[in-house]
Structure 1
Amino acid sequence: MRRKFWIAIVAFALSLSACNAARLDQPAPETLDDIEAELRQHVEILASDEFEGRRPGTDGERKTLRYLADTWEAAGLISGTNDPAHPWLAPVELAVRAPETATMKFRTGSRVRAVPDGQVKLFTSGRRALLADAPILFVGTQGSELEPSVLTGKVALMIWDHPARERQRTALLANGAAAVLAIVLESAEFDQLAGIREKGTYRLAGSEGGAQIDGFMSEQAAFAIFGVEQIRSLFGVVESPAFRPKLLNVTADMEVASAAGAVRTHNLIAKLPGANPDGEAVLLLAHWDHFGRCGRGQTTDLICSGAVDNASGLAVLSGIAKRLAAGPKLDRDVYFVATTAEEWGLLGAIAFTRDPPIPLDSIVAAFNIDTIGVAPRGSPVAIVGAGLTPLDAQIEAIAGQLGRDVIKDQFAAGFIQRQDGWILLQRDVPSLMVSSAFAQPELMGRYTKDRYHRPTDRVASVELGGAAEDMLLHIALVRHFASLPSQNGPAI
C-alpha cells in the first residue's frame, strides 16, 4: 500500500500537464525506483576514483565542476553568476597552510613525560608559533561558554568524540586558548584526521589571523602524558552538570611551523529563470568538495570519495534541477549553488554571502542539501534549523501533503552550525535543511562512526530511498516558495 501511494505521489508531483487528457505517446510516469537509479548514477560518477575525492584546487575539482555544469546546462539551467567575466564559476581564493615541523614537550615539574611516536599531531595557522611552559586545562566538551579569563595562556584539552567538536575547537581558540588539543579515542579516526590535516588547511584569502596552534592526540598518548587513572576519571565526570574545567599537573612546550600557499577554487552558480520575476528568489545549495586523497599508512584505499558527504546531495540537487526545468514555468528565479571548501569551515558559503549574485535579502527561502544518502524509503524528515526562520509551518504543511511526517527533536539541531545554511542564517537569509537523514539518529550515528570523512564513505554504502523521497519534497517546496504570493496555493 505504501509503495502504491508513493507511485501515485510521484506521478502527480512530476506531471507536466496534469489537467490534459492522457496521451498514448507519453512516457510512463517515473517511479521511486527510477529516481533512485538516476541518483545512484550521479553518485557513482561523483564519488568514483576518477574524481579523486573532490579536493579544492585539484584535478578532481575541475572534473566535478565540469560534470555538474554540463548536467545542469543540459537540464535547462543557465549561468547564475550574473558576471560575464565568470560564467557559471565564481572564483574563491583560498590561503593554505601545510605543516613543516612540530616539536613538543610535556612536563610535570622537571620530569618530561614520554610521548609515543606519532601519537600527537600539532598544526599552526601561521608561519611559526611557540608556547613555553603553558598550563594544560581539561575542558571536556565545553567551549563557547568559557570566558577568556579561564582560557588565556592555557592549552585547552578537549574531547573530540562528540557532535559539536569543530564548533568547540573554534570557540576555544576564539575565546583566548593558547592552543587546543583534542583527545581522539579511535585510532582509525586519529590516523584519518592526521592524514587530512597533513595535506594542509584552507582559509579564505585575506582572513588569516594570528599563529594559533591546534592538534590531536591519541588515547595512547593521553594515557602516557596524563596517566590512565586521571584520563578515565576525567572522562567519567565530563557529562556531569557539575563538571568544571580542571587544571592538570602538566605543562607544555610547543614549537610549530608551516608553509604558506594559495589555491583558487570555485563555487558553481546556476539559475532557472522565472516567468514572472518579482525581484525575489529561491536558493538551493549543496557543497561539492571533499578531502581528496586522505588515507595513511598501509591502507590500499587512499581516497576519501565522499559518496554520502556530499555526492548524494549533489545528485539530489541535479535531480531537482532537471525536473523543475522540465516542468511548468515557475514565477520566481531559482538559484542552484554548489559550494566549495565546506569541509574547511563553510568557506564557499562565506564567499557566496560576501559576493552574492543577487541581494541576500531577496532570497525568500534557501534549502541546503547535505549528507542525504542515509535513510531508507518511508522515513520521516527533520528540519535542521527548526524555529530559526518563519518557514516551518509552510514546510510542515507541504510535507504533510506528500505523506511525510516531520520529526521534532533535538538531534537535528546539533547539526545547524555544521552546514552551509548556517552562514546564510547569519546574514538573515531564511535557510533550512529538510532531510530524512537527520531524522534518523541511529543511522546517522552509525554513518558518522564508521564512514564519515573516511575512505569507507563509498557508493556501495549509500542509501538513496529516503533521498529520492526528499527530492520530491524539495521540488514541492521550491514550487511553493517560487510562486508569487497571490498564486501561492497548494505546493504540488
Structure 2
Amino acid sequence: MIARGRIFLAGVICVSLAACATVPRGPDPQAVRDAIAARMMRDIEVLASDEFGGRKPGTPGGEKTIAYIVDRMQQIGLQSGTNDPGSAWRAPVELVSTKPLNHEITVRTAKGASVLPIASSAAFSLSSRVLIDGVEVVFVGDGKGQLVDTELVGRIVVVTQSNSDPDVRETLFAARPAAVLTVVADSVALERERGQFQRERLLLTSEDSNNLSAFVTNEAFSNTLPDGEWNRLLEKASRENFSHEMLAATIAIDVHSTRREFTSSNVIGMIPGQLPGSGAVLLMAHWDHFGECAPGTPDPICNGAVDNASGIALMLELAAKLQLNGPHDRDIYLLATSAEESGLLGAKSFVDAPPIPLESIVAAFNFDTVAVAPAGGPFGFIGEGQTPLDDVVREAVREQGAELGSREYAQSFLRRHDGWTLLQEGVPSVLVSTAFASEIVLGPYLATNYHRPTDQIEGLELGGAIDDLLLHETLVKQIASTQSYPASATLPSQ
C-alpha cells in the first residue's frame, strides 16, 4: 500500500511538472505591431523629410522619391513590374505644367472698344500664348439650351454662370469654340474662378488642350455693351426655348502663360505568382505631394507625412510580408503613382498604358492617408457596392473583430482616390481604411493639416494604419489564391 501510494504521488508530481513546463507561444501581438510601426516610420521619416522637398513631380524631390521607392522594392526582393525591359521599375508619366502670367480682353461694339479691367476679368490657357482677335460672339444664356455645334465652332461663346451645373463649360468646349467667356455674378465669384485656374496646373500631355477660358463680372461686361443691351439679352435668355443669339460685337483675347513639359514616373514592382494566366492583385498608393506650397513662410514645404508617405510605407511593409509568405498563385503588383494630387494623373497614365491587361486584375487595393485613426476602430469601405469584393472585404473585417463605419461618409471619397480611375475601366478597385470610417476620425486632420505644411510626422497615428495592413494581408493572401478566390471569368495570358 505504501509503495503504491508513493508511485501514485510520483505520477501526480510528474503530471504537475509537465503542466508547469514552458509552453512555446507565438510572437507577442503588441511586439509585432511595434515592429511594424518602427519599419513604417523609417520610410515615412525619409519620404516626409525636407530633403525630399514635398515630393512634387518634376522636381529633385520627386526624383529622390522615385529612386527611394525603387530601392526599397529591390531591398524587399520584388521584381520590376513594368514588363518593359527598356524601362525597368519606372513607367513614364508625361506631364505638362502651366501657370498663367497675364491677359487682356477687349470688347468691340458700335460704341467703341473697351478693355476689361484686370480686376474684373480673367483668362486662362494651357498654351504659352493664345491670341484671338475679331472673333464673332454668340450668347447662349446659361448654356443649357438646345445648341448645334456649328453655331459655336470657331466663335467666342458667352455664357452666364450656372452654379447648378459645373460641367456646362466642358459641354460647350466639346463644340470647339475659340473660347468660352463666362459672365459671373460679382468679384467674389470671379475670385473663386481665379482660385481654380490661377495656380500651377499639371495635366497629362495626352489631355493637353487649346481650351481658352475667360471670365468677367456681370457689371464689367454690361459696361462694354450699348446701354440696356445686356439686360435685354438676359431677359431673352430667361424665356423658354432660348438657345442662342449672335451679338453685334467682337472680342479679342490675349493670354500668356508659362509652360513646361516633363516626364515623371509611376513605380511598378511585382511579386510573381506561380500560376501564370490566373490574374493579378494590384496594390497602389500615390507618392506625390505639393512641394513648396507656402513660399515666403518659415516652413514652406508641404511634407505630406500622412498624405501620402504613410500610404507608401504601408504598401511597402505589406509587400515585404507577402513576399516572405509566398509564393502565391496570382501575381501581386505594386503601383506607386505620380501626380495624384493634380487629378489622379499617374493612375490615368497607368490605365492608358497598363503593363498587364486591365481585365486580368481581379482586385485592386489603394492606400491613401492611412496614418490618422487609432487602433481598434471601424473601417471605412470606399467602393462598397461597386465591385464583387464586398463579401470578402466584409468577412475579413469581421474576422479582425471590427466593423464597417459610415457608408455615406466613405462613399463621399469615391471619386477622389486613384482607385476611381481603375474602377471606371471595370477593374474591381476599393479603398478600405480605418481613416475613412467617419468624419469624427478624418475630419480633424482635414481641417488642420491636410495639404498644409503642418502635415508632419509628429501628427502621425499608426494604430489604425497597422490595422489596415493586417486586414489587407488577409485579403490579399485570400484573393491571390485561386482556391479561395477563383477567377470569375477566363483571364488572358500574361
**Contact 1:269-1:337 within 8 A present in 2 as well:** yes
- The residue that corresponds to 1:466 in the other structure is 464
State the structure with more CA Rg: 2
Equivalent residue in structure 1 for 2:429, among 404, 428, 431: 431
Give 2:12's aligned residue.
Answer: none
What is the SS of the residue equivalent to 2:414?
Answer: helix
Residue of structure 2 equivalent to 1:65 = 66
Give the conservation status (yes or no) of the 8 Å contact 1:124–1:211. Answer: yes
The equivalent of 1:80 in structure 2 is 81
Rounded to whole Å, the distance in 1 between the matches of 2:141 and 2:288 is 35
| Number of residues of Structure 1 aligned to a counterpart in Structure 2 | 419
Match of 1:342, SS state, is coil
Q: State the partner residue of 1:393.
A: 391
User: Structure 1 residues 481 and 361 mapped into 2: Cα distance closer, same or farther (>3 Å)?
Assistant: same
Q: 1:225 to 1:327 in 2, by over 3 A?
A: farther
Aligned to 2:380: 382
Aligned match of 1:208:
208
Q: In the aligned structure 2, how far is the partner of 1:130 from the partner of 1:325?
A: 58
Partner of 1:174: 170
Q: Which residue of 2 aligns with 1:327?
A: 325
The residue aligned with 1:3 is none
Cα gap change, 1:485/1:91 in structure 2, threshold over 3 Å: closer, same or farther? same
CA–CA distance in 1 between the matches of 2:27 and 2:212? 60
Deviation digits for residues 233-252 of structure 1 (CA, Å, limit 9, x no counterpart):
xxxxxxxxxxxxxxxxxxx9
Confirm or deny: 8 A CA contact 1:192 1:294 kept in the other structure.
no
Query: Do the aligned partners of 1:130 and 1:255 also contact (CA within 8 Å) in 2?
Result: yes
When residues 37 and 399 of structure 1 are mapped into structure 2, their CA distance, relative to the original with a 3 A threshold, is same
Q: 1:74 to 1:211 in 2, by over 3 A?
A: same
Distance 2:313 2:183 in 1: 36
Per the TM alignment, residue 341 of structure 1 is displaced from its structure 2 partner at its CA by: 1.2
Alignment of 1:3-402 (within 5 A): 30-103=31-104, 123-126=124-127, 127-128=129-130, 153-154=157-158, 157=161, 171-176=167-172, 178=180, 198=199, 200-213=200-213, 255-296=254-295, 298-402=296-400
Contact 2:121 2:214 in 1 (8 A): no
Report sequence identity in percent: 38
Q: How far off its partner does 1:331 sit?
A: 1.5
- Counterpart for residue 5 of structure 2: none
SS at 2:85 equivalent: coil
Q: Per-residue displacement from partner, 1:323-346 (whole Å, max 9, x unpaired)?
A: 111124222110000011111221
Q: Any conservation in 2 of the 1:290–1:306 contact (CA below 8 Å)?
A: yes
CA contact (8 A) 1:369 1:433 kept: yes
Q: After superposition, what is the alpha-carbon deviation per residue over 1:370-389, rounded to whole angstroms, capped at 9, x for unaligned?
A: 12222221221121111111
**TM-score by structure 1 length?**
0.73
Inter-CA distance 112–135: structure 2 relative to 1 (3 Å threshold): farther
Contact 2:306 2:460 in 1 (8 A): yes
When the two structures are superposed, what TM-score results if normalisation uses the length of structure 2?
0.72
1:181–1:315 CA distance, 2 compared to 1 (3 A) = farther
Name the CA shift for 1:408/1:43 in 2 (closer, same or farther; >3 Å). Answer: same
Deviations 1:153-192 (A, max 9, x none): 3456577xxxxx9xx85x343222725799999xxx9999
For the 8 Å contact 2:268–2:335, the answer to whether it is kept is: yes
The residue type paired with residue 260 of structure 2 is G
CA contact (8 A) 1:148 1:175 kept: no
CA contact (8 A) 1:99 1:123 kept: yes
Q: 1:209 to 1:275 in 2, by over 3 A?
A: same
The structure-2 alpha-carbon separation of the partners of 1:211 and 1:190, relative to structure 1 and needing over 3 Å to count, comes to closer
Could you list the runs of 5+ residues in structure 2 that have no partner in the other structure?
1-21, 174-179, 223-250, 487-494
CA drift at 1:404: 1.9
Aligned CA RMSD, in angstroms, stands at 4.1
5+ residue gaps, structure 1, are 1-20, 140-145, 160-164, 227-251
Aligned to 1:102, the other structure's residue is in SS state strand
Contact 2:478–2:484, Cα closer than 8 Å, also in 1: no
Distance 1:424 1:324 in 2: 23
Residue aligning to 1:482:
480
Contact 1:130 1:256 in 2 (8 A): no
Alpha-carbon spacing, 1:147–1:312, altered in 2? closer, same or farther (3 Å): farther
2:405 aligned residue: 407
**One-letter identity of the residue aligned with 2:169:** L
What whole-Å deviation, never above 9, does each CA across 1:41-74 have from its counterpart, x for those lacking one? 2222111111011111211122111111111211
CA distance in 1: counterparts of 2:162 and 2:300, whole angstroms: 28
Matched residues in 2 for 1:322 and 1:138: separation?
55
Structure 1 window deviating more from structure 2 (455-464 vs 45-54): it is: 455-464
After TM superposition, give the deviation of residue 213 of structure 1 in Å. Answer: 2.4
DSSP-derived class of the 1:311 partner: helix
Higher mean alpha-carbon deviation, 478-487 vs 263-272, is at: 478-487
CA 1:112–1:429: 2 relative to 1, 3 Å: same
Contact residue 382 and residue 436 of structure 1 kept, 8 A: yes
CA distance in 2, matches of 1:193, 1:58: 23
Amino acid in the other structure paired with 1:295: A
Structure 2 CA distance for aligned equivalents of residues 321 and 412 of structure 1: 25
Partner Cα separation in structure 2 for residue 426 and residue 70 of structure 1: 31
Within 2, Cα distance between the matches of 1:426 and 1:191? 30
> Cα gap change, 1:44/1:173 in structure 2, threshold over 3 Å: closer, same or farther?
farther
- In structure 2, the residue corresponding to 1:290 is in which secondary structure? coil
Encode CA deviations 1:246-291: one digit per residue, 9 max, x unaligned: xxxxxx9964322332111111000011233443010011111112
- The answer to whether the Cα contact below 8 Å between 1:374 and 1:464 also exists between their aligned partners in 2 is yes
Tell me: CA distance 1:412–1:184, structure 2 relative to 1, closer, same or farther (3 Å).
Answer: farther
Indicate how the Cα distance of structure 1 residues 271 and 222 shifts in structure 2: closer, same or farther if over 3 A, else same: farther
Distance, in Å, in 1 between the alignment partners of 2:193 and 2:447 is 13
Instruction: State the shift of 1:87 in Å.
Output: 0.8
Distance (whole Å) between structure 2 residues aligned to residue 80 and residue 455 of structure 1: 33
Give the superposition deviation at 1:357.
1.3
In 2 relative to 1, CA 396–212 (structure 1 residues): closer, same or farther, beyond 3 Å?
farther
1:113 Cα deviation from its structure 2 partner? 9.4
